[in-house]
Chain A
Amino acid sequence: MEHIITTELVSLFYSEFQALKDISIDFLPNTVTALIGPSGCGKSTYLRLFNRMNDLIDNVKITGKVTIEGEDIYKKDTNIVELRRKVGMVFQKPNPFPKSIFENVAYGLRVNGVNDMSVLKEKVEFSLKQSALWDEVKDKLKKSAFELSGGQQQRLCIARALAIEPSIILMDEPASALDPISTAKIEELIYELKNNYTIVIVTHNLQQAGRVSDYTAFFYIGELIEKGETKELFINPKNIKTQNYITGRFG
């Protein structure tokens, strides 16, 4: 199977500080890959390579090659809007817009020029169903997104990301601010979504990485220490640093 994302010897510098060191990882389509590691290890920086979010930070320098669906996304004529349509993102804290539930999901579609109400309705419903939120909000689509609980807001953000039909979804600690029930719903959702999307998730919750991902990559001080099948990595890690980290003996 062809890889949907590949990174070849990617290094990233914040001015003089090297945050990523020669990272090479390939991602298969329709898989979930968890990025784990202690704070400051570079996992979120690595995640943000895929939708060029790091471009927004001053004095960032990137070397190496990042390709998505065969395209080098750092070549000069890359269309960033098109890239971000292909690569959706969900953040740690739910960040709905100060709009209705419907308009939150329709937002990306409208930005991309979709204004036909019947198309919008159809896509909003489809996205809310995919994010397992439809049954809870179908009767209050015109209400403010802020009236939803934290867990519902996060699923709304996932619906918003799904509405523009990306092929890749990046998740940066999507459940770290949620209670166990909402977390379970998000995890269930990730499991469902991988049938149609490729998901890369940053998490500090090792049990969550174990539960939701097919592959896990362990980062430490900007380096990729180990990447492998999640089951294998959590039962028999090859590198002692990985073992020490996942068993809580680190440092």
Chain B
Amino acid sequence: MTHLETEIQLLKRNIVEMWNLVNNQLDKSQQTLSNFDKDLIHNIKVNEKMVDTFELMIDRDCENILALYSPVAIDLRFVLSVLKINYNLERIGDYASGISKLVDDLENPISEELINSTNIFVMFNLCQELLKDSLNSFETENNWETRNILGRDKAINKINKEATKIVADYIIKKPEDVLIAMNVLSVIRKLERVGDHIQNIAEELIFYMEAKVLKHQKKKKN
């Protein structure tokens, strides 16, 4: 194995570790919401610092590889993709942390009616599934599986789009729950952004595996 290959393997290990950490952050943020588990919030805060540390470390590793090894072809594409995936994962980590903070602000759990009508947990599950699929396709370098992720955020976007009216109706019906309802809407908005970041990650994976740029070509993705 060349020195560059060793560095790339190390980079791959680190980004996979970050990916798993961000996956866990998203899982835990859902748990804080579903179980109204405020003890988990502190844990999410601590792990958020770890996500930030990983981001800085991976950025530095990418810079070092570019500066010292001048990678080309598949190696260059790998480093460039990891650099961007790193940024997207950090953002997802931020949203997970943000969701837990919104839960922290609540005095009472969210009503079952609001949870069911907004489909917020369906949205959560879709985000978690897509994030896990993206990690799996990265680890197995499976471009078919990656292409399968593209466009799957449509269901997430649909829930987001419908949420405004559902939440507005709920507030009219139960004005005393306005703060809770507004926070639920904020969580939905954050999950919609998580879906976007996962799509960005999938596009970066396609660039790495197939050298194709899919950005700003939404109609051609599939």
Q: B-contacting residues of A (Cβ < 8 Å)?
A: 206-207, 210, 234-237, 242-243, 246-249
For B8, the closest partner residue in chain A by CB is: A247
Q: Which of B5, B72, B77, B211 contacts A246 (CB 8 A)?
A: B72
Q: How far apart are B117's CB and chain A's nearest CB, in angstroms?
A: 48
CB-contacts of B60-117 with A (<8 A): 70-77
| B73 and A236 contact, CB distance less than 8 A | yes
A242 and B73 alpha carbons, distance in the complex (Å): 9
Cβ-based interface call for B222 (8 A): no
5 additional contacts (CB under 8 A) given A237-B73, A242-B73 = A207-B70, A236-B77, A243-B73, A247-B71, A248-B2
B73 adjacent to A247 (CB under 8 Å): yes
A207 to B71, CA, bound (A): 9
Residues of the A chain whose Cβ atoms lie less than 8 Å from the Cβ of B56: none
7 A–B contacts from the bound complex (CB under 8 Å): A210-B72, A235-B76, A236-B211, A242-B73, A247-B71, A247-B75, A249-B2
| Total A-B pairs, Cβ < 8 A | 31
A243 CA to B73 CA, complexed, in Å: 7
Task: Evaluate whether A206 and B72 lie within 8 angstroms (CB atoms) in the complex, with A235-B77, A235-B211 already known.
Answer: yes
CB nearest to A238 among chain B residues = B211
Task: Decide: B2 and A246 in contact? CB cutoff 8 A.
Answer: no
| Shortest Cβ distance from A232 into B: residue | B211
Q: Which residues of A contact B70 (CB under 8 A)?
A: 206-207
What's the Cα separation between A248 and B69 when bound, in Å? Answer: 10
Q: Given A235-B211, A248-B4: A243 and B76 within 8 A (CB)?
A: no
* Interface size range of chain B in the complex: 10 to 19
Beta-carbon nearest neighbor of B80 in chain A: A235
What A residues does B72 contact at CB under 8 A? 206, 210, 234-235, 246-247
Query: Please, how many angstroms separate the alpha-carbon atoms of A236 and B76 in the complex?
Result: 10
Taking CB atoms, residues of chain A closer than 8 Å to B74 are 243, 247
Q: B76 contacts A234, CB within 8 Å?
A: yes
Chain A residue contacts of B2, Cβ below 8 A: 248-249
- Within residues 23 to 72 of chain B, which ones have a CB less than 8 A from any CB in chain A? 70-72
Contact assessment for A247 and B4 in the assembled complex, using a CB-CB cutoff below 8 Å? yes
A249 to chain B, nearest CB (A): 7
Q: Which residue of A lies closest to B5 (CB)?
A: A249
Residues of A within 8 A of B4 (CB): 247-248
Distance in angstroms between the alpha carbons of A235 and B72 in the assembled complex: 6
Query: Considering the complex of A and B, which 3 residue pairs feature the smallest CB-CB distances, nearest first?
Result: A236-B211, A234-B72, A246-B72
Q: How far is the CA of A235 from the CA of B76 in the complex (A)?
A: 7
CB distance from B208 to the nearest CB of A (A): 11
- Chain A minimum-CB-distance residue to B3: A248
CB-based nearest A residue for B75: A247
A237 to B77, CA, bound (A): 12
Rounded to whole Å, the gap between the CB of B4 and the closest CB of chain A is 6
Give Cα distance in the complex from A206 to B76, angstroms: 14
Question: What 1/0 mask marks residues of chain B from 204 to 222 whose CB sits below 8 Å from any chain A CB?
Answer: 0000000100000000000
Given the complex of chains A and B, what is the CA–CA distance between A56 and B76 in angstroms? 42
Q: Which chain B residues lie closer than 8 Å to A249 at the CB level? A: 2, 5
Chain B positions within 8 Å of A236 at CB level: 73, 77, 211
Bound-complex Cα distance A158 to B74 (A): 36
Closest to B210 in A: A236
The CA of A206 and the CA of B71, in the complex, are separated in Å by 10
Q: How far is the CB of A230 from chain B (nearest CB, A)?
A: 10
Measured in the bound complex, the distance between the Cα atoms of B72 and A237 in whole Å is: 10
Separation of A207 and B72 alpha carbons in the complex (Å): 9
C-alpha gap A243/B211 in the complex (Å): 13
